Structure 1
Amino acid sequence: MNTSEYTKVYYGNFILVTRVKDELEHLGIVPIVKDEGESQRLAGYASMNQGFQEVFVHNDELKQALEIVNRVKSEMEATS
């Protein structure tokens, strides 16, 4: 059973995560960005996922956040 109050809504490189984060914040959603690679580096360990980050949002804002993430992903795919 998952008792976390936060859910991961996106995973990607720093630039893409920044774009998603900015869009969420623009609508009043405060995301949490988790960077395992940086945490491992600071602890003195090698990291396989350097530069990749995860974006989490509170479960109360999950539906709206997923809509934003999907829109941003569609926009990024259209410009690729």
Structure 2
Amino acid sequence: MSTTEYTKVYYGNFILVTRVKDELEHAGIVPIVKDEGESQRLAGYASMNQGFQELYVHNEELDKAMVIINRVKSEMETAS
């Protein structure tokens, strides 16, 4: 994944990342989920990031994605 084409837009646990990912997909944005902890586990290494994932979106969709992410984050904050 080229860092010039994609930008990390969200980081969190599996449940929160899934919520944000679903909202992005509903808007026609296909995010990439990166799970370093799972990759390390599968390779046989211990991981401090177990359960945490990162979401990346293509730079062309960044502005649209950030509007959605900010809305979802706001909804999650008011729900707690």
Q: TM-score, normalised by structure 2?
A: 0.95
Is the aligned partner of 1:10 residue 2:4? no
Residue 28 (structure 2) aligns with: 28
Deviation, 1:3, is 5.3
CA distances 1:1-55 after superposition (whole Å, capped 9, x unpaired): x852000000000000000000000010000000000000000000001000000
In structure 2, runs of 5+ residues without a counterpart are none
Q: TM-score, normalised by structure 1?
A: 0.95
In structure 1, runs of 5+ residues without a counterpart are none
Report runs of 4+ in structure 1 exceeding 4 Å deviation.
none
Change over 3 Å in CA distance of 1:72–1:14 after alignment to 2: same
Give the residue type in structure 2 aligned to 1:64. Answer: K
- The count of corresponding residues between Structure 1 and Structure 2 is 79
Residue 58 (structure 1) aligns with: 58
Task: Report 1:57-76 matches (<5 A).
Answer: 57-76=57-76
Give the whole-Å Cα distance in 2 for the aligned partners of 1:46 and 1:3.
26
RMSD: 1.2
Give the residue type in structure 1 aligned to 2:26. Answer: H
Give the residue type in structure 2 aligned to 1:24. Answer: L
